[in-house]
Copies of this chain bind each other. A is one copy, B any other.
Amino acid sequence: MPYSSEQAQILTQALPYIQRYSGKTIVIKYGGHAMVDEELKRSVMRDIVLLRCVGMNPILVHGGGPEITEVMKKIGKEPKFVNGLRFTDLETMEIVEMVLSGKTNKSLVSLINQQGGRAVGLSGKDANLIVAEKAESDGDDLGFVGRVKQINPQILEILAREEYIPVISSVAIGPNGESFNMNADDVASALSVAVKAVKLIMMTDVKGIYDDRNDESTLYSLLKIEEVGNMMRSGKIDKGMIPKVKACTDAIIESHKAGRHIETHIINGSEPHALLMEIFTDTGIGTMIEAG
Which residues does A use to contact B, with CB under 8 Å?
1-5, 7-16, 18-19, 22, 43, 46-47, 49-50, 53-55, 71, 74-75, 94, 97-103, 105-106, 109-111, 113-116, 118-123, 125-128, 155, 158, 162, 164, 171, 173, 176-177, 179, 271-273, 276-277, 280-285
Q: Does A127 lie within 8 Å of B118, measured CB to CB? A: yes
- Measured in the bound complex, the distance between the Cα atoms of B55 and A55 in whole Å is 7
A61 to chain B, nearest CB (A): 16
A214 to chain B, nearest CB (A): 24
Known: A110-B125, A111-B177, A127-B120. A8 touches B100 (CB 8 A): no
From the candidates B8, B18, B171, B282, name the one contacting A276 in the complex (CB within 8 A). B8
Smallest CB gap from A126: residue in B: B120
Known: A16-B116, A102-B98, A118-B128. A3 touches B50 (CB 8 A): no
A49 contact set on B, CB distance < 8 A: 15
Known: A15-B50, A15-B53, A46-B15. A272 touches B9 (CB 8 A): yes
A96 to chain B, nearest CB (A): 9
The 3 closest A-B pairs by CB, nearest first: A102-B102, A8-B273, A98-B102
Given contact pairs A3-B273, A109-B125, A114-B176, a sample of 10 additional A-B residue pairs in the complex whose CB atoms are under 8 Å apart? A2-B282, A5-B273, A8-B47, A8-B280, A16-B116, A98-B103, A110-B173, A113-B125, A113-B127, A121-B123
Known: A54-B18, A127-B164. A177 touches B75 (CB 8 A): no
Counted per complex, copies of this chain come to 6
Interface pairs (27), CB distance under 8 Å: A2-B282, A2-B285, A3-B276, A5-B271, A5-B273, A8-B276, A8-B280, A11-B273, A11-B276, A11-B280, A12-B46, A12-B47, A14-B50, A15-B49, A16-B116, A18-B53, A97-B102, A98-B98, A98-B99, A98-B102, A106-B123, A110-B179, A113-B177, A120-B126, A121-B122, A127-B164, A158-B162
A7 contact set on B, CB distance < 8 A: 10, 13
A104 to chain B, nearest CB (A): 9
A115 to chain B, nearest CB (A): 7
A53 contact set on B, CB distance < 8 A: 15, 18-19, 22, 54-55
Smallest CB gap from A22: residue in B: B53
- Measured in the bound complex, the distance between the Cα atoms of B72 and A98 in whole Å is 13
A118 to chain B, nearest CB (A): 6
